[in-house]
Amino acid sequence: MAVYKRTYTTYAGPLTPPRTRFLVLPRYCYERLFQSRFLTGFLVACFFFPLGCAGYIYLVNNLSVFTSMGVPAPEFLKIDSSFFRFLMNFQGAMAYILTALIGPSLIAPDLANNALPTYFSRPFSRTEYVIGKVSVLFILLSIITWVPGVLLFILQVSQAGGDWLSNNWFILRAVVLGQVAWILLLSLLSVALSAWVKWKVVAGALILGVFGIGAGLAGIINSILRTDYGAMIDLSRIMYTIWSDQLNIETSTGLEPFEAWLSFIAVCVICLLMLERKIRPKEIVR
Amino acid sequence: MSTTPDAVIQLDNLSVTLGSRLILNQLQVELKGRTIGLLGPNGAGKSTLINTLLGFYAPSCGTARVFGYDVNKDTRHVRSLIGYMPENDSFIADMNAVTFIRMMGELSGLPPETALERAHECLFYVGLGEARYRKLGTYSLGMKQLAKLAQAIVHGPKLVILDEPTNGLDPPARRRMLKMIREMRDNAGMRIVLCSHLLRDVEDTCEEVIILKGGSIVHYADLEAERRANKRFVELETVGDDEGFAAAMESLGATCAMAGKGRWKMVLPAEFSFRDLFKVASEKDLELRRLNYRKDTLEDIFLKAMNQ
């Protein structure tokens, strides 16, 4: 019978498993996000650099091209930790811009439209809601950060062989762990800020500004107090220290790796507390 | 309080404190009706009670049960049984109605294809079939009310909580909304909690009513039982010598009370015929000036409760 001819009936059919229901949110978010051509174009552009890197890896492992042309193979061409740190920096920056574009439209519209009571009057918890919203960014940013990193690592292993793998296996751990930590930080920051600022434009500016503000404040603290601990509120320096540590590269960020991890955990906890305070079906006016 | 199998809502010394304010104070009631009205002036605690039933607020003491499930302990299960139509706008303005209602259906556990089918069905059912692909932000106030109803019923809940469903509706739309509420109750077997300021709406649709004031239940009325009792209240005004009139009426089964010179209030039995009343008046040579058929309306009950 045609839908418009039917009358209302109750539902007694099968239900989806409760544990996978948070995935409904990313699906609908992507449907809305990819209506924007600019965003789709930007996402495609995020793959250009890894593609270039793939070509570079092939070239470095096939230097016979140079000798066949009668040119001596340049010695600086090598694939090591520094190469992967550069890749992580570049893709990390792209992830940061993508977060500023997508992040504000995740929670702010739900709050602005007072939609939370409608979500939470269903068998759907606040935790599932936050996980659903965070996973929108987590999935998308994974595709442009650690997934290409892992594929490039596999390509390098396939080209360079087992010796290279036995000497550089820690790079794989660094790419996955470092980028996942970065994604987690970006996702939590953006959903927490978009939960506190209902206006999308302001939320976007805040996501972009929080890194600059942190770096500025860190510089002021360091110069006034003549210390390096100010770097603990500089988010980009925190992540750079973590990545460098994972890739076994010496850096002079003024932070020890454990201090960087401590700051990272503190920022994540603050974001979760912000979300806990704001993501409620009804706000209690005291 | 033990759980009663057929009780829709059971409140057992339920108190809710928000901040330092006591909003609901030791509510004790068991509601079994198919449609339950929730009445009270502004600030009486109606919305807090609804929010507590949905598990949004935790009771500070006592318990609230829906179909026997504790709303604080079995929150997820209780929510799967409930559909909620909030009073205020509560949806994403730049989404179209089908997508929004489908998403809400999926969040309630419907498989994607079923959710889509039911979203279309519900929108046609509430009368938004032709406007279902329009963005919710472009809807009129009345259409938004209907969209809110559609999202509340998309997953086929056993209990629907309607918070001011006729707000902002013109008279034909209001009649249509009340008709739908009655249909959902009678045909789909849903239980309905109706929270409204419009006493007429509650009177038209509800079987049981609780009236809240200052966070406490000041009155409980089983409207259905009263309707079943079929008492007939009559106000009468006569001119002439009414001696023996009361006795004659009481011999026919009526209960009479004099409310002033020539003015009577009577409760007539169900089988009483008005022809007999006119016959008695004629025999006593009494002139009937006014005959008013009335019983206590919900408005009378509400006003009495407010004066308590």
A70 inside 8 A of chain B by CB:
no
Q: Using CB atoms, pick whichever of B51, B121, B183 lies closest to residue A6.
A: B121
Q: Rounded distance, CA B100 to CA B136, Å?
A: 9
What pLDDT, in 10s, does the model give residues A36-64? 999 999 999 999 999 999 999 998 888 77
Q: Read off the pLDDT band of B5 (50, 70, 90).
A: low
Residues 188-227 in B contacting A (C-alpha not used; CB under 8 Å): 188-190
CB of A161 within 8 Å of a chain B CB? The answer is no
Using an 8 Å CB-CB cutoff, list chain B residues near A126: none
DSSP for residue A234: -
**B295-300 average pLDDT score:** 67
The answer to whether residue B303 neighbours chain A at the CB level (below 8 Å) is no
CB–CB of B79 and A12 under 8 A? no
> Is residue A75 in some structural domain?
yes
B47 or A200, greater pLDDT: B47
Q: Mean pLDDT lowest for which of B45-49, B185-189, B221-225?
A: B221-225
pLDDT of residue B294: 64
B90 vs A contacts (CB less than 8 Å): 113-118
CB contact under 8 A, A8 and B129: no
Q: How confident is the model at residue B26 (pLDDT cuts 50, 70, 90)?
A: very high
What's the total number of domains in chain A? Answer: 1
pLDDT higher than threshold 90 for residue B229: no
Structure confidence at residue B2 (pLDDT): 57
Q: Report CB contact under 8 Å: B51, A286.
A: no
Q: Which two tokens stand for residue A13?
A: 């059919």
Domain membership of residue A132 (yes or no) is yes
Predicted pLDDT of residue A212: 86
Determine contact: A10 vs chain B, CB below 8 A: yes
State the CB neighbour count (10 A cutoff) for residue B112.
14
Fold that domain B9-226 belongs to in CATH: Rossmann fold (3.40.50)
Residue A144 domain-assigned (yes or no): yes
* pLDDT value at residue B204: 85
Q: Does the beta carbon of B79 lie under 8 angstroms from any beta carbon of chain A? A: yes
pLDDT mean over A70-94: 85
Between CA B83 and CA B155 the distance in angstroms is 8
Q: Which chain A residues are Cβ-neighbours of B189 within 8 angstroms?
A: 10
Amino acid at B18: L
Residue A14 lies in a domain: no
Taking 60 as the threshold, does the pLDDT of residue B230 lie above it? no
Contact criterion met (CB < 8 Å) for B79 and A121: yes
Q: pLDDT tier at A286 (50, 70, 90 boundaries)?
A: low
Q: Give the pLDDT of residue B296.
A: 61
Q: Give the domain range for residue A125.
A: 21-278
Model confidence, pTM: 0.84
The pLDDT assigned to B35 comes to 93
Q: Which helix (H) or strand (E) holds A262?
A: helix A257-278
Which amino acid, residue A125?
Answer: S
Task: Tell me, yes or no, if A34 comes closer than 8 A to chain B by beta carbon.
Answer: no
Task: Please report the pLDDT score of residue A283 as a whole number.
Answer: 67
Nearest-Cα distance to chain B for A189, in Å, is: 22
Residue A12: per-residue pLDDT: 86
B74 lies within 8 A of chain A by CB: no
Q: Between B28 and A70, where is the model more confident? A: B28
Contact of A274 with A206, CB cutoff 8 Å:
no
What percentage of chain A carries pLDDT values higher than 90?
57
Structure tokens at A178: 């470092």
Most A-contacting residue of B46, B90, B128 (CB-CB within 10 A), to test interface: B90
What topology does CATH give the domain B230-296? Alpha-Beta Plaits (3.30.70)
**pLDDT, tens only, A101-148:** 998 888 888 888 889 999 999 999 999 999 999 999 999 999 999 999
Residue, of A100 and B267, whose pLDDT is higher: A100
Domain ranges of chain B: 9-226, 230-296
Tokens read off for A85: 């740190």
Mutate to test the interface with B, among A11, A105, A106 (most CBs of B within 10 A): A11
User: CA nearest A132 in B: which residue?
Assistant: B107
- pLDDT the model gives residue B20: 86
B297 touches chain A (CB under 8 A): no
pLDDT exceeds 90 at position A199: no
Task: Kindly indicate the confidence band of residue A285, based on its pLDDT and cuts at 50, 70 and 90.
Answer: low
Report, as an integer, the average pLDDT of A163-169: 91
- Gap between the Cα atoms of A107 and B145, Å rounded: 23
User: What's the gap in Å between the CA of B262 and the closest CA on chain A?
Assistant: 55
pLDDT for residue A3: 65
Residue B231's pLDDT is 64
pLDDT of residue A231: 80
What is the model's pLDDT at position B227? Answer: 67
Are the Cβ atoms of A122 and B155 closer than 8 angstroms? yes
The C-alpha of A11 sits at a distance from chain B's nearest C-alpha, in angstroms, of 5
Q: Are strands B287-293 and B232-239 parallel, antiparallel or unpaired?
A: antiparallel
